[in-house]
Amino acid sequence: MPNSDTADTRPVALVIDDDPTMRLIASRTLEGAGLRAVVASDAEKGLDLFHQVAPAIVLMDVMMPGIDGYAATERLRATPAGQHVPVLMLTGLDDLDSINRAYEAGATDFVSKPINWGVLGHRVRYILRAAEALQGLAENQALLAAAQQVAHLGSWSWDFSTGVTRWSDETYRIFGYAPQECPASREAFLGRLHREDIDLVKASLEALKRRGAPMNVMARLSLPDGSMRYVQITSEVIRSESGDPSQAFGALQDITDSKTAEQRIHHLATFDRLTQLPNRQRFAEKVALALEQSRAGGRMAAILSLDLDQFKRINDTLGHAVGDKLLLAVSQRLRETVRSRDSISRLAMGEDGNLARLGGDEFCLLVTDISHFQDSAKVARRIVDVLQRPLEVDGQELFITASIGVALYPLDAEDADTLIRNADAAMHFAKGQGRNND
């Protein structure tokens, strides 16, 4: 007997049986097997005791007055605490229907009467070891699911011979499917992809199946709510004895947050924070690409460098806050000019992505598809004219003028950096000749 001053840490076995002799012998057998036995003479008392003592195993007689063992087991399984506790049914019935009914009610196993008491203790210990292993597996699966959710990392598998596909819960979440809504399949996998990424992923899956080529692609998902996710899809294959690919195991990671942060960092690095126009770095890259296209098409291009006249005086007299708002108003006026539909803008200006702020009060415009050098002069004159109109800032009208310098490809330079520098030099020359000049 354990010391009464010491807490009894033995696993508890709950015996529910209306036969007092069975309860006594079962209790002694279980005590001898290292368990602490608690007994109940009917199902109602047994269910009450179950919630009080939280047993590791339940031995349930089938035939009892009132609630029988089948109904009691069903009620036990309906409670959160009783879903996974092993239930060993004790029955004098050995027909197949009774056995099936015991398992349908939720029994873990059954023992037919008369009971071999020498074997019962070993049987109970085996069931407890199996239950402990299952509990450990369930806990590991729960930990894995939690870790996958934290990491936004799902797992998937694909059996090439049967076509059976399996997804983890996190994979379903990433795809925006409910498990009961959509069985895991290659079609459901492809059905969530952005249409521009379907061919890439299809080709990667085919290479995975046919050659066992490892998969590592980034793709976009289009979800039902209209949102988009970025995912990284990776996989490896298991090969058969003949060396042919037989199964694939992969991971699907939601990298939307990191991709969004990357895009944000890139935007901050390449766009002006105040006006959201491309900065010098971004503009130089765009000019370099445009010059390649102009060279291939045998066309001319131009850089217009624009500087606001006496902008420092506005900053000094009205403050930098007003100066920033004026720059915003100028950038918006320039955008509207570039987007306008008159003959000059259709001729050369193109999109407002060709407009940039290089710093301070200096702006640049890339003009492409020029057939004659005079076209760039027309664009410059148009910008000078539109900027002469008053700009409203904080309810007051402000007047500003600009000086513009023009550099032509390929007449003035054949590379982006030189072309931009020459346009800047031409602008300073124009400013030296008088304000509001080009």
Per-residue pLDDT of 262-293, as tens digits, reads 888 888 888 998 999 999 999 999 999 999 99
DSSP string, 342-361: SHHIIIII--GGGEEEEETT
CA distance 387 to 220: 43
Cβ–Cβ < 8 Å for 190, 206: no
CA-closest candidate to residue 160, choices 252, 242, 221, 254: 242
The stretch 21-48 carries a mean pLDDT of 90
3-class DSSP assignment, residue 43: helix
DSSP-assigned states of every residue in 251-311: EEEE-HHHHHHHHHHHHHHHB-TTT--B-HHHHHHHHHHHHHHHHHHT-EEEEEEEEETTH
What are residue 3's phi and psi, to 5 degrees? -60, 130
Q: Mean pLDDT over residues 107-127, rounded?
A: 82
For 368-420, the DSSP string reads EEESSTHHHHHHHHHHHHHHTS-EEETTEEE---EEEEEEEETTT-SSHHHHH
pLDDT band at 371 (very low <50, low <70, confident <90, very high): confident
3-class SS at 89?
strand
pLDDT tens for each residue of 209-265? 989 888 999 999 998 888 899 999 998 888 888 888 999 988 888 888 888 888 888
Tens digits of residue pLDDT in 59-80 = 999 888 889 999 999 999 999 8
Give 424's pLDDT tier (boundaries 50, 70, 90).
Answer: very high
Integer Cα distance of 156 and 172 in angstroms: 10
What was the pLDDT predicted at 344?
46
Identify which has the larger pLDDT, 388 or 142. 388
What rounded mean pLDDT belongs to the chain? 85
pLDDT at residue number 345: 41
Domains defined along the chain, listed by start: 12-142 (3.40.50.2300), 152-259 (3.30.450.20), 271-432 (3.30.70.270)
pLDDT mean over 134-142: 63
| Rounded alpha-carbon distances, angstroms, from residue 110 to 128, 149, 423 | 14, 39, 92
Rounded CA separation 70/107 (Å): 8
pLDDT of 110 strictly over 90: no
Asked if the model's pLDDT at residue 373 lies above 60, the reply is yes
* 254's tokens: 């939601």
Per-residue model confidence (pLDDT) at position 142? 61
Return the DSSP state at 435.
Answer: S
- Predicted model pTM: 0.53
pLDDT for the residue 395? 83
Length of the chain, in residues: 438
Predicted pLDDT at 342: 44
Q: Helix %, strand %, coil % for the chain, to 5?
A: 50, 25, 30
